[in-house]
Amino acid sequence: MLKFPRACLTAAMFTMAAPAFAILPQTGMWSIGSELNGKPGRGIQIDRQGGELLILTYFGYRPDGSATFLQASGKLTDGALFSGELTEYKNGRAIGGEARDGEVAHVLGTVSIKFDSASSGTVTLPGEAPQRFSRYWFENHLGRLNGRFEYQATEYNSGRFSEARSFIRATLGEFFMTESGGRSCQYTGNLQPTGDSFSSKGTAVCRSGFSGPEPLIKLQYELLDIKVDENGIFTARRYLNLASEPHVTGRNGVMNHLIGTCALPKSDYWLMPTTSRCGPSDLNISPLTPSDFIP
């Protein structure tokens, strides 16, 4: 976490530059370029099981209009690059048909991807120019992001962590968060969907205590991969820079990983103790019943 007073914070900006981490893409369906128009089309499905190995499935059409799928696999290199041979298959089992193994029809060529975030990048398909592509957003979980959260903020460089509590109010386009812990802060900025998560960028005003003579410090922040999953687990990556240091911009400042849980009651009154974690109804998930546990 950032340390106060200002002299310590300024020193941290220059001595603790954020390390480079691999950009691990979200799994799921990705749309290509400007082709997302609500009509049947083509796209890419990315599968990843917690590491850097990707299986990519392209679904689209042949020149005669018939549907096809192709696959490629490989490991991310340099933290953001993927390259694999896009291969078409034939003679596999049909729906309702007898079991039989498929075989390679032909290798169409190399597909190359450069990811610039977990939900966006540039894809180059065989015989085509590079195009932007992004994680397809089809379910809005913004409601989960509104409420109280308790989490640990871990500094990437040192591994030091501190505990904090926040209250978030968010709509598409607007983000507001109050945070209490070793310091108190108010974050105000934008909010954009990024696949199954969100991002926000704006200004944070902080002091080292809840009140008193400590000076207010203005910071620029960026929150990436903000997500509350179906179990109520809250995660995000946070970058903080001094607003008065224009040469320390973007993601060159202090970086923290936030991980915690959605908490009840959903109140921004900090003296009110947390009573429990959020339940299924708070996350818009159907609850399990006793019969779900009976074999």
Stated pTM of the model: 0.82
Radius of gyration of the chain (CA): 23
Asked if pLDDT for residue 265 goes beyond 50, the answer is yes
* Rounded-to-integer distance, Cα 120 and Cα 33, Å: 11
* 96 shares its domain with 225: no
Q: 242: domain CATH number?
A: 2.40.128
Boundaries of domain holding 79: 28-135
User: What are the C-alpha distances in Å from 155 to residues 42, 145, 256, 259?
Assistant: 41, 23, 5, 12
Query: What average pLDDT does the segment 87-101 reach?
Result: 95
Structural domain includes residue 258: yes
The number of distinct structural domains making up the chain is: 2
* 146 shares its domain with 121: no
Chain centroid to CA 209: 30
Per-residue pLDDT tens for 214-251? 678 999 999 999 999 999 999 999 999 876 654 444 55
* 230 shares its domain with 250: yes
* 259 shares its domain with 185: yes
* 228 shares its domain with 110: no
DSSP strands (E only) in the chain: 28-32, 43-48, 53-61, 67-75, 81-90, 103-117, 120-124, 131-135, 147-155, 161-171, 174-180, 184-189, 192-194, 197-207, 217-228, 233-242, 254-264, 276-277
Mean confidence (pLDDT) of the chain? 86
Query: What average pLDDT does the segment 2-15 reach?
Result: 37
Element (H, E) at 12: helix 6-15
Q: Which residues pair with 169 in a beta bridge?
A: 176
